[in-house]
């Protein structure tokens, strides 16, 4: 099925959703937008190689959420509120006053960092949706010359991630069939070849 829509349609849609998420500053809104993006991708994507980038974007978004929440709980400024649990405090130099590693983890601190993580993850997922719905080649053809270089860099960046994920999966499967254990060093050389 060929898409008769202009290639910039999905990117403008995605940018609009990302702006709405950032300006709305509401986790429920961000989750609802991700749900809508998922439905749109399920309805409109085709069997092209770039259409699998949405799943990679969702995985990346989940990792962003986990990492942001973890770092927000471990490292940050003290936020008063209801203490959920305490972590050991690592002393920092005097010039880093106001920042601490560890300490009391409050409900407010946890919700604040989780909210920021959800917002970042939702924005990444919106751009993954646009990337999976638009042919990178058609997108490059319609870009004006003034932003062609930027568009080329964007297309390369959004096309490389799904290819790397697929390659890593193939290498891991091949190593598993050979009876080898998973090792990042053993994956790196075949991945770069």
Domain end residue (candidates: 123, 142, 161): 142
Tell whether 3 is covered by a domain: no
The pairing of strands 100-106 and 75-76 is antiparallel
> Which phi and psi angles does 162 have, rounded to 5°?
-60, -35
Tokens of 112: 């604040």
Which helix (H) or strand (E) segment holds residue 82: the answer is none
Sheet with 83-90: list strands edge to edge: 75-76, 100-106, 83-90
Q: pLDDT of 126-164, one tens digit each? A: 988 988 888 777 777 777 777 778 877 877 776 676 677
Tell whether 126 is covered by a domain: yes
138 and 148 within one domain: no
What pLDDT shows up at residue 193?
Answer: 66
Domain count, the chain: 2
Alpha helices in the chain (DSSP H): 8-24, 27-44, 53-74, 107-133, 136-142, 148-177, 184-192
Q: pLDDT of 60-115, one tens digit each? A: 899 999 999 988 888 877 778 888 888 888 877 878 777 778 888 888 888 989 99
Domain end residue (candidates: 127, 142, 157): 142
Q: Show the domain range for 71.
A: 8-142
148 and 108 within one domain: no
């Amino acid at each position: 099925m060929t898409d008769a829509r202009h290639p910039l349609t999905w990117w403008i849609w995605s940018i609009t959703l990302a702006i709405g998420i950032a300006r709305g500053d509401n986790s429920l809104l961000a989750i609802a937008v991700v749900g809508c993006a998922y439905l749109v991708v399920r309805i409109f994507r085709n069997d092209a190689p770039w259409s699998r980038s949405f799943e990679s974007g969702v995985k990346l978004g989940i990792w962003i959420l986990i990492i942001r929440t973890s770092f927000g709980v471990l490292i940050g400024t003290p936020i008063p509120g209801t203490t959920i649990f305490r972590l050991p405090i690592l002393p920092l130099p005097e010039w880093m006053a106001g920042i601490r590693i560890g300490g009391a983890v409050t409900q407010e601190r946890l919700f604040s960092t989780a909210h920021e993580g959800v917002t970042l993850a939702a924005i990444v997922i919106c751009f993954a949706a646009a990337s999976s719905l638009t042919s990178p080649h058609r997108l490059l053809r319609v870009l004006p010359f003034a932003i062609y270089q930027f568009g080329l860099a964007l297309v390369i960046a959004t096309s490389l991630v799904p290819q790397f994920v697929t390659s890593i999966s193939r290498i891991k499967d091949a190593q598993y069939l050979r009876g080898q254990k998973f090792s990042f060093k053993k994956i790196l050389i075949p991945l770069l070849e």
